[in-house]
Structure 1
Amino acid sequence: MKKVPSIWLMVTLMMFPQIIETIYSPVLPNIAQVFDVTNIVASQTLSVYFSAFAVGVVFWGIAADYLGRRRSMLLGLTVYGLAAIGAMFASNFEQLISFRALSAFGAAVGSVVTQTMLRDSYDGVGLAKVFGYMGVGISISPVIGLMSGGVLADIGGYQGVFAALSLLAVVLVLACSVRLPETKPEQISRPDLARLMRAMLSDKHIWLDAIMVAAFNIVLFSYYLQGPFVFESMGFNSQQFGYSGVVLAAGTFVGSVINKSLLKRQWHSSQLIWLAVSGALAGAVGVYVLQSSLWFLAPMLLIVASFGVGIPNLLSGALVNYKAQAGSAGALFGLMYYLMIGLGLSAVGTMQDLGLALSVFGTVLVFAKLAR
């Protein structure tokens, strides 16, 4: 009998990479001050995070096909936890960046192996519905990270944040040790990575799906990258920036309701993705117009809601032709879009203009969907 993992554990594991990124966002001004670096330099930690995350996606995705899903998950979480402890005691910015990169490498297991385990356990409409739950979790997780990060930043600065991340690692390792089954099929072909890579690199649809997944993430994470400095320029502190997560939570709820409702009405994934792309671009333009006041949070709601509709429908359908090598295909697909996210957020950090950045990548979404 095939063992099916707990949906709630899967949602938690899918959420935690996003939580550990956004919990760090409110403390960026503190890091810039403590380590005496500019806001632009401090912002680049996000691009470093996603670049290291991309390497981790490949490593753990391939490991899942060789070592098994459960063992790979436990190893990745352990690496993440040790790196979080190291970051807490970093004595200079270079050490902080290094441990931050290592923690991202370990945390990548929560994304790629979780997706692989879901593809092991579900297919068709069932997989789309499960990824709908994942989409809700992914959308909520930045809100949780943002709010808790704002409180921790005010209480203990960056060290308080990394202490919380270390504790999270312990909790996840214990939960997975007790509740996580092995879902790797008994009969699985050893991945021919060179052949698989050639097939995926020549697949136009894979490239366009990767671009859209990356662009959705960039428009969402641009807020967590630039938001602290936007709020600081308006005279607000880190905790007040964290509270903006409450406002964005409304967008998460709306996106979830829309996605579930339209799936029940037999909307096709392509239609839902079009809806999400259109909403993201409209929200981006709204932020560009209103970013000099707190009213810019209103169109940010639209962006968050669009993320909640677009991402689950993209992820559930992206690798339907690569199910026989789900772990390795997921790893290579993740490498593609996480490298794009890293490069995109590096550009966003350089722009130092939230509205402009969102408009650029909202336009990228539209062109990618048109080409798809």
Structure 2
Amino acid sequence: MKTKPSLWLMLLLLMFPQIVETLYSPALVSISQAFAVSDTEASQTLSIYFIAFALGVAVWGIVADAWGRRPTMLLGLSVYGISALVALQTDSFAVLMLARACSAFGIAVGSIVTQTMLRDSFDGDALGKVFSLMGLGIALSPVIGMFTGGQLVLLGGHGAVFTLLLFMALVLLGCCVRFLPETFPETVTRTQGTNQSFPLSALAKRMLADWHIWRSALLVAIYNIGLFSYYQLGGFAFARLGLTPEVFGYSGLLLGLGSCVGSYLNSRLIANEVSLQRRLLGAATLLLLGAVSLCLLQGSVWFVLPMCLVVMAFGVAIPNVLSMALSDYKMYAGSAGALLGLMYYLLIGAGLALAGLIEHLGWVLLGCAVAAWAVTLIHRR
């Protein structure tokens, strides 16, 4: 009988990519100053991160079906660790951008392979409950990342942030070497996702023609763009108000409260058997209320308060979308998850690139809210 992975380790692996990115966010102003680049150039490192992350999701998901879950996870974390070391040592902004891209490619393994291992080990309502728990961890990750990043920037600038990122990579790699089991289903051959009986091209064609897949990819992208646009633009907004990266990091504590409320609300909705469609409409409503309120308050530091509604919307929407997204593709969980991840992370990267050019958090969130409503209602009709 195959051993199920420890949920604490799965939680750490899913949280790690989020912690990595939000811990980096308070350092954007420091990076802009240290490398003598504009705010726009510094903020675009986030969009580059997600585009490279998308490619990593595609590669690691396919490799996980060919080589197995455990060796793929170890290889991806090793790539991330090496890239983090390069980022720590360089004094070139171009090399930093390349290191960021490579680190994103490597750490993508924590998202796609972890989700695949959970789908290997759980299904049905059990999978939905596990994803709800994972959603709470993902929602709390920015709190940990932003607060820690703000403190580190205060102590040692972006170099202190990069040092911690390298240390975390080494610790997590060690934990996986010691505790991570192989979860690949014994009833599925390791090349099934890419063999001649069902080649990757056929799987991709099937998924691209599946509106349910597109709907899932669009919704995941929309809510992530809304959330990460704050991490991308918020630090610069605080700086324009005369506030420090440390204060920006403290705002993560407030967002953490919204995350907890959103995850609790989602668990209650599931317990009361509220339909998936109504849960998604509720999330879209929260996002719209947060976007409108933030537009009205963006001239003051109180614009942080409506972001609580945005993270609540994220906490409701994402676990529900991810738990059901690949229900028809379980036999090809790794490859299907890779292709789905490629779709939504490319969308996230493009959306954040546009957000960096717009440089107005309120307008970005309004666009996300309108898009969330449109995608949800189109399915209903």
Q: TM-score range by the shorter chain?
A: over 0.9
Unpaired segments ≥5 residues, structure 2: 194-198
- What aligned pairs does 1:102-181 form with structure 2 within 5 A after superposition? 102-181=102-181
Amino acid at match of 1:82: I
Q: CA deviation at 1:209?
A: 1.1
Q: Of the candidates 345, 348, 359, which is equivalent to residue 355 of structure 2?
A: 348
Q: Does 1:280 align with 2:307?
A: no
**SS of 1:302 mapped into structure 2:** helix
Residue matched to 2:333: 326
Deviations 1:104-150 (A, max 9, x none): 00000000000000000000000000000111111111111111110
How does 1:166-315 map onto structure 2 within 5 Å? 166-189=166-189, 190-191=192-193, 192-315=199-322
Query: Could you say what secondary structure the match of 1:24 adopts?
Result: helix
Runs of 4+ displaced beyond 4 Å = none
Q: In 1, are the aligned partners of 2:288 and 2:370 still within 8 Å (CA)?
A: yes
Contact 1:146 1:243 in 2 (8 A): yes
- Can you list the C-alpha shifts for 1:282-338, whole angstroms capped at 9, x where unaligned? 111111111111221221101101101100000000010000000000000000000
- The answer on whether the counterparts of 1:208 and 1:371 sit within 8 Å (CA) in structure 2 is no
Contact 1:55 1:105 in 2 (8 A): yes
What is the rounded CA distance, in whole Å, between the counterparts of 1:227 and 1:295 in structure 2?
Answer: 12
Once residues 208 and 371 of structure 1 are traced to their aligned partners in structure 2, the CA distance between those partners, rounded to angstroms, is 9
Q: Which residue of 2 aligns with 1:63?
A: 63
Say yes or no: does 1:369 pair with 2:376: yes
Residues 277 and 376, structure 2, Cα contact 8 Å, conserved in 1: no
Displacement, 1:268? Answer: 2.2
1:256 Cα deviation after fit: 1.3
Q: CA deviation at 1:44?
A: 0.3
TM-score of the two chains, using structure 1 as the length reference = 0.99
Q: CA RMSD in A?
A: 0.8
> In the alignment, residue 349 of structure 2 is paired with which amino acid?
G
In the alignment, the residues of structure 2 paired with residue 288 and residue 94 of structure 1 have an alpha-carbon distance, to the nearest angstrom, of 34
Instruction: Provide, for residues 232-264 of structure 1, a one-character-per-residue CA deviation record: whole Å limited to 9, x for no partner.
Output: 011100111100011111101101110111111
The residue type equivalent to 2:352 in the other structure is L
Q: Could you say what secondary structure the match of 1:3 adopts?
A: coil
How many pairs align? 372
Paired AA for residue 214 in structure 1: A
Residue equivalent to 1:83:
83
| 1:116 aligned partner, one-letter code | T
Aligned mates of 1:2, 1:70 — CA distance in 2: 13
Aligned residue in 1 for 2:196:
none
Q: Which amino acid aligns with 1:347?
A: L
Q: Which runs of 5+ in 1 are unaligned?
A: none
8 Å contact from structure 2 (residues 77, 169) kept in 1 = yes
Q: Distance in 2 between matches of 1:281 and 1:90?
A: 41
Question: Hey, what's the Cα distance between the residues in 1 that align with 2:291 and 2:376?
Answer: 17
**Letter paired with 1:335:** L
1:326-354 superposed Cα distances (whole Å, 9 cap, x missing partner): 00000000000000000000000000101
Deviation by residue 1:180-223 (Cα, 9 ceiling, x = unmatched): 11000123251210100000001111111101100000000010
Distance in 1 separating the partners of 2:215 and 2:74: 32
Opposite residue 7 of structure 1, the aligned amino acid is L
Q: What does residue 93 of structure 1 align with?
A: 93
Distance in 2 of aligned mates of 1:325 and 1:139: 28
Give 1:90 deviation, angstroms: 1.2
* C-alpha deviation, 1:8, in angstroms: 1.1
* Inter-partner Cα distance in structure 2 for 1:37 and 1:58: 31
